[in-house]
């Protein structure tokens, strides 16, 4: 009966009503088509945006991979440079230790030679030659006791002894040695004072066996205070004035190391 009613109603619809229905259906279809088109367009934009994001992520991943590779290479280069620096530092330290040992050995040899030479010399005929005051130690005793204090590390005591030696015996043959060892007492704690006494030896007693060593150490002190020009000048003087000395060989090494 229901179908019969619908059929009767449809049969009873007027042409105007049918057209209105058809118009509404067409409107609904057009609206649905526009909505479908809008959704399709929005979906297309979303897909394009996603593709761009994926491309950007891929580019970022590639850039990050390249960056990590560059960082790894840079770190490897830094590590290699550190190894080279450590090797060079170790070589420099060994070289400095060797230089110090050579200079100390030379100082001991010169002190021994000076003692032997002094003992072998005949008594001076000049009545004005320095003579120890009554009750005072002889020049050799004062010099040797001061040298022993220096070797024991008693720098202040050694300094007092050498200063007294220089004051009391200013014309003694071992004045260059006393000046040199005065510089040694200051070498660690007061580079300026050490340099003063080394220069006294190098300038006043150029024929002394201590002169090339004192001049070379003047260059080392100049390097320590970052005065490369003064260091070069000192080393060049060693090479020019004492070309056959062991210090000349050391000075050439230092000049080579100071090349820019």
Phi then psi for residue 136, to 5 deg, are: -95, 155
- Which of 95, 124, 156 is at the close of a domain? 95
In a domain, 102, yes or no: no
pTM for the whole thing?
A: 0.52
Same domain? 250 vs 157: yes
Q: How far is CA 242 from CA 72, 106, 212, in A?
A: 52, 15, 6
Percent of the chain with pLDDT over 70: 61
Q: Decide if 172 is inside a domain.
A: yes
Q: Is residue 142 part of a domain?
A: yes
Contacts of 101-108 with C-beta under 8 Å, sequence gap 24+, read: 102/246, 102/250, 103/213, 103/216, 103/217, 106/213, 106/246, 107/180, 107/184, 107/213
221 lies in the same domain as 150 = yes
Do 81 and 143 share a domain, yes or no? no
Instruction: Name the range with the highest mean pLDDT among 37-46, 65-74, 191-200.
Output: 191-200
Q: For residue 33, give the 3-state DSSP assignment.
A: helix
The reported pLDDT for the residue numbered 31 is: 80
For residues 154 and 235, membership in a common domain is answered with yes
State which residues form the domain around 150.
138-257
Tokens of 48: 């394009």
Other C-beta atoms lying within 10 Å of the C-beta of residue 179: 24
* pLDDT tops 50 at residue 127: no
Q: In which band, very low, low, confident or very high, does the pLDDT at 116 lie, cut at 50, 70 and 90? A: very low
Vertex 34 angle, CA 32 and 37, to 5°: 110
**Chain segment 138-153, per-residue pLDDT in tens:** 999 999 999 999 999 9
Same domain, residue pair 146 and 245: yes
Q: Are 182 and 202 in contact (CB under 8 A)?
A: no
Q: pLDDT tens for residues 48-72?
A: 676 677 666 666 666 666 666 565 5
Do residue 169 and residue 245 come from a single domain? Answer: yes
Rounded distance between C-alpha atoms, residue 90 and residue 212, angstroms: 27
């Amino acid at each position: 009966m229901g179908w019969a009613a619908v059929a009767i109603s449809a049969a009873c619809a007027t042409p105007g009503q049918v057209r209105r229905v058809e118009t509404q259906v067409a409107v609904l279809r057009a609206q649905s088509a526009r909505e479908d088109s809008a959704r399709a367009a929005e979906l297309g934009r979303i897909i394009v945006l996603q593709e761009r994001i994926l491309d950007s992520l891929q580019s970022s991943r590639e850039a990050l991979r390249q960056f990590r590779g560059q960082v790894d290479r840079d770190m490897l280069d830094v590590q290699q440079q550190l190894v080279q620096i450590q090797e060079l530092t170790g070589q420099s330290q060994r070289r400095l230790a060797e230089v110090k040992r050579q200079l100390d050995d030379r100082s001991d040899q010169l002190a021994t030679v000076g003692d032997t030479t002094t003992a072998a010399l005949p008594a001076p005929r000049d009545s004005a030659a320095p003579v120890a005051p009554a009750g005072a130690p002889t020049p050799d005793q004062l010099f040797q006791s001061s040298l022993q204090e220096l070797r024991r590390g008693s720098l202040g005591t050694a300094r007092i002894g050498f200063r007294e030696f220089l004051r009391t015996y200013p014309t003694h043959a071992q004045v260059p040695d006393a000046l040199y060892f005065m510089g040694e007492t200051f070498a660690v704690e007061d580079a300026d004072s050490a340099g003063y006494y080394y220069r006294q030896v190098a300038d006043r007693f150029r024929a002394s066996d201590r002169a090339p060593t004192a001049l070379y150490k003047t260059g080392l002190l100049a390097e320590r205070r970052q005065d490369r020009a003064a260091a070069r000048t000192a080393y060049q003087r060693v090479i020019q004035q004492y070309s056959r000395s062991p210090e000349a060989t050391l000075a050439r090494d230092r000049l080579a190391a100071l090349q820019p």
